[in-house]
Protein backbone atom coordinates (compact mmCIF):
# COMPACT_ATOMS: atom_id res chain seq x y z
CA UNK A 1 0.00 0.00 0.00
CA UNK A 2 1.13 3.60 -0.59
CA UNK A 3 3.05 5.13 2.30
CA UNK A 4 2.46 2.03 4.41
CA UNK A 5 -1.25 2.78 4.90
CA UNK A 6 -3.79 0.01 4.87
CA UNK A 7 -7.10 0.09 3.01
CA UNK A 8 -9.05 1.05 6.15
CA UNK A 9 -6.75 3.93 6.99
CA UNK A 10 -7.08 5.31 3.45
CA UNK A 11 -10.88 4.91 3.63
CA UNK A 12 -11.03 6.84 6.90
CA UNK A 13 -8.85 9.64 5.51
CA UNK A 14 -11.01 9.85 2.37
CA UNK A 15 -14.22 9.94 4.49
CA UNK A 16 -12.84 12.77 6.64
CA UNK A 17 -11.83 14.74 3.53
CA UNK A 18 -15.28 14.17 2.04
CA UNK A 19 -16.95 15.48 5.21
CA UNK A 20 -14.67 18.49 5.44
CA UNK A 21 -14.72 19.65 1.84
CA UNK A 22 -17.81 18.06 0.27
CA UNK A 23 -18.26 16.05 -2.91
CA UNK A 24 -18.09 19.05 -5.28
CA UNK A 25 -14.88 20.49 -3.91
CA UNK A 26 -12.75 17.29 -3.92
CA UNK A 27 -12.43 16.92 -7.74
CA UNK A 28 -11.55 20.61 -8.04
CA UNK A 29 -8.86 20.20 -5.40
CA UNK A 30 -7.46 17.15 -7.20
CA UNK A 31 -7.32 19.01 -10.53
CA UNK A 32 -5.61 22.02 -9.01
CA UNK A 33 -3.12 19.80 -7.16
CA UNK A 34 -2.31 17.92 -10.37
CA UNK A 35 -1.94 21.16 -12.35
CA UNK A 36 0.37 22.58 -9.69
CA UNK A 37 2.52 19.45 -9.68
CA UNK A 38 2.72 19.51 -13.50
CA UNK A 39 3.73 23.20 -13.54
CA UNK A 40 6.35 22.55 -10.86
CA UNK A 41 7.79 19.61 -12.82
CA UNK A 42 7.89 21.68 -16.03
CA UNK A 43 9.62 24.52 -14.19
CA UNK A 44 12.23 22.18 -12.73
CA UNK A 45 12.94 20.44 -16.05
CA UNK A 46 12.85 23.72 -17.99
CA UNK A 47 10.02 22.75 -20.34
CA UNK A 48 7.58 25.34 -21.65
CA UNK A 49 4.09 24.92 -23.04
CA UNK A 50 4.99 27.00 -26.06
CA UNK A 51 7.12 25.36 -28.74
CA UNK A 52 10.38 27.10 -29.45
CA UNK A 53 10.32 29.35 -32.49
CA UNK A 54 13.41 29.92 -34.59
CA UNK A 55 14.77 33.44 -34.14
CA UNK A 56 13.60 35.83 -36.78
CA UNK A 57 16.16 37.85 -38.66
CA UNK A 58 15.93 41.58 -38.32
CA UNK A 59 16.18 43.26 -41.67
CA UNK A 60 16.66 46.90 -42.39
CA UNK A 61 13.90 48.61 -44.33
CA UNK A 62 14.51 48.81 -48.05
CA UNK A 63 16.03 52.12 -49.14
CA UNK A 64 13.81 54.47 -51.03
CA UNK A 65 14.25 54.21 -54.73
CA UNK A 66 14.70 57.34 -56.78
CA UNK A 67 14.59 57.81 -60.49
CA UNK A 68 18.02 58.00 -62.08
CA UNK A 69 17.06 61.09 -64.02
CA UNK A 70 16.27 63.06 -60.86
CA UNK A 71 19.56 61.87 -59.28
CA UNK A 72 21.56 63.15 -62.22
CA UNK A 73 19.63 66.39 -62.25
CA UNK A 74 20.50 67.00 -58.56
CA UNK A 75 24.16 66.28 -59.18
CA UNK A 76 24.35 68.46 -62.28
CA UNK A 77 22.41 71.37 -60.77
CA UNK A 78 24.56 71.52 -57.62
CA UNK A 79 27.84 71.84 -59.63
Do 48 and 42 touch, CB atoms closer than 8 A? Answer: yes
The DSSP symbol for 49 reads S
How many independent structural domains does the chain possess?
Answer: 1
Q: Is 73 a member of any domain?
A: no
Q: DSSP label at 66? A: -
d(CA 1, CA 6): 6
Tell me the CATH number at 2: 1.20.5
In a domain, 75, yes or no: no
pLDDT given for residue 15 in this prediction: 92
pLDDT along the chain (79 residues), means of 10: 81 90 88 93 79 64 62 55
Query: For position 12, what pLDDT does the model report?
Result: 93
In a domain, 21, yes or no: yes
Domain residue limits at 40: 1-46
Position 26 scores a pLDDT of: 86
DSSP 8-class letter at 46:
T
* pLDDT recorded at residue 65: 65
- The 8-class DSSP code of residue 35 comes to H
Cα–Cα separations (whole angstroms), residue 14 to 2, 10, 23: 14, 6, 11
Amino acid sequence: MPLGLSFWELAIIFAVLLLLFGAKRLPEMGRSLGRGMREFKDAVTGKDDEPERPPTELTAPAPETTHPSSETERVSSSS
